[in-house]
Amino acid sequence: MNDRRFKFGYLLILLAGFGAMAVLWQQQAIADWWKLRGYEPTPDISALALATTMTDDAKRLFYINHPQLIADSDQFRQNCPISEQTIILGCYHSRQSGIHIYDVSDSRLDGVEQVTAAHEMLHAYYERLGGEKTKVDQMLQNFFATGNISERVKQTIALYEKSEPDDIINEMHSIFGTEIADLPPELEGYYGRYFSNRQQVVGYSEGYEDEFQSRLSRITVMDDQLAALKSQIDAEEEALSSQRNDIENLRSQLDYKKFNGDFNGYNDSVDYYNAQITIYNRGVISIKAKIDSYNQLVAERNALAVELKGLEQAIDTRLTTESP
């Protein structure tokens, strides 16, 4: 009897131990359940998950972080105080403590919220990779070393190397998955667990980035055109100045001949003088047309610069913020 009681007591201890271990194993699942208990995403948040083609698992983790769209810049800065060098306008707080996304109202920047949502969700997942992280890190590093990566992304990674060297791979994980169209098959397959159509997310990224880059490119072209026009105008002004001096000298010679009664010499020189006046006037018309073109191009260039500034202000909360 005592032996049976001992065995029964030992069994209870074992069961209690296994129960405690099970609780530890399921601790994250319990925490996730608790965070999702009673949570209902707003229509805007649901739309972001749908637009970025998040898989069910990705959407679940996105919702676990109770994502918020924040329109007020002061409030956004309070929630996302760390400034970064990316085109992402949001932040993820570690240990599944929340995702915040800046609510950009400018229609020219449609897509920035979608890419930000996907980017921050990937931060949340990277934190959970566990033992798989070593393999994922290697894939990311290999692609960064050998893959087809835009200069903008390379520059962004270089800035992270200086400002946040411990989070470079974390950032690669989010940036590559949302901003680079062509990935190696193994890496593409990996991101398939998060997005059913990753190219749709990249399309959003390329769309609103182009709003900036197209204007920057056009401004660069216009600056080159303005420099060339300015050079032509300067050269023609110098030539006109020389012609004007020659004409004034010719006029003085004509006046001298007329004053001294050299009418034959005067008459012989009049036609040449008039021809030089005609050439000069054509030059004046030409340079005036170039100056008009220059001024018009300056106005167009400045209008583009104003548009670009407006786009920057649309996302500027002291902004371009995103914390890992």
The string of DSSP letters for 233-279 reads HHHHHHHHHHHHHHHHHHHHHHHHHHHTT-HHHHHHHHHHHHHHHHH
pLDDT confidence of residue 130: 87
112 and 226 part of one domain: no
190 and 260 part of one domain: no
171 in a domain, yes or no? Answer: yes
**Dihedral-angle region of residue 96 (phi above 0 means left; psi in -120 to 50 means alpha; beta otherwise):** left
Q: Which of 62, 54, 55 is nearest to 36 (CA)?
A: 62
Strand order, beta sheet including 68-70: 68-70, 99-102, 90-92
Domain boundary at 165, 192, 210, which? 210
**Taking a C-beta distance cutoff of 8 angstroms, is the pair 113, 69 a contact?**
yes
84 and 206 part of one domain: yes
8 in a domain, yes or no? Answer: yes
Structural domain containing residue 171: 41-210
Average pLDDT over residues 99-115: 88
301 in a domain, yes or no? Answer: yes
229 in a domain, yes or no? Answer: yes
Domain boundary at 159, 186, 210, which? 210
Q: Indicate if the pLDDT at residue 23 is higher than 60.
A: no
- Amino acid (1-letter code) at residue 204: Y
- Summarised one tens digit per residue, pLDDT across range 159-211 is 878 878 889 999 999 999 999 999 999 999 999 999 999 999 999 999 877 77
- Amino acid (1-letter code) at residue 180: I
pLDDT confidence of residue 316: 59
Confidence class for position 286, pLDDT limits 50, 70, 90 = very high
57-84: string of b/e by CB count within 10 Å (b at 16+)? Answer: ebbebbbbbbbbbbeeeeebbebbeeeb
134 and 100 part of one domain: yes
pLDDT confidence of residue 275: 93
322 in a domain, yes or no? Answer: no
CA distance 162 to 182: 26
Q: Indicate if the pLDDT at residue 14 is higher than 70.
A: no
Give the lowest-confidence range in 72-81, 137-146, 279-288, 304-313: 304-313
How many folded domains does the chain comprise? 3
CA distance 302 to 304: 5
111 and 25 part of one domain: no
Cα distances from 105 to residues 15, 70, 215, in angstroms, run 57, 11, 19
> What's the full length of the chain, in residues?
324
pLDDT confidence of residue 72: 86
84 in a domain, yes or no? Answer: yes
195 and 220 part of one domain: no
- The β-bridge relationship of strands 90-92 and 99-102 is antiparallel
176 and 272 part of one domain: no
pLDDT confidence of residue 159: 83
47 and 196 part of one domain: yes
Give the lowest-confidence range in 79-93, 148-162, 189-203, 297-311: 79-93
54 and 26 part of one domain: no
pLDDT confidence of residue 51: 97
CA distance 210 to 87: 12
Give the lowest-confidence range in 56-65, 73-82, 135-144, 223-232: 73-82
216 and 185 part of one domain: no
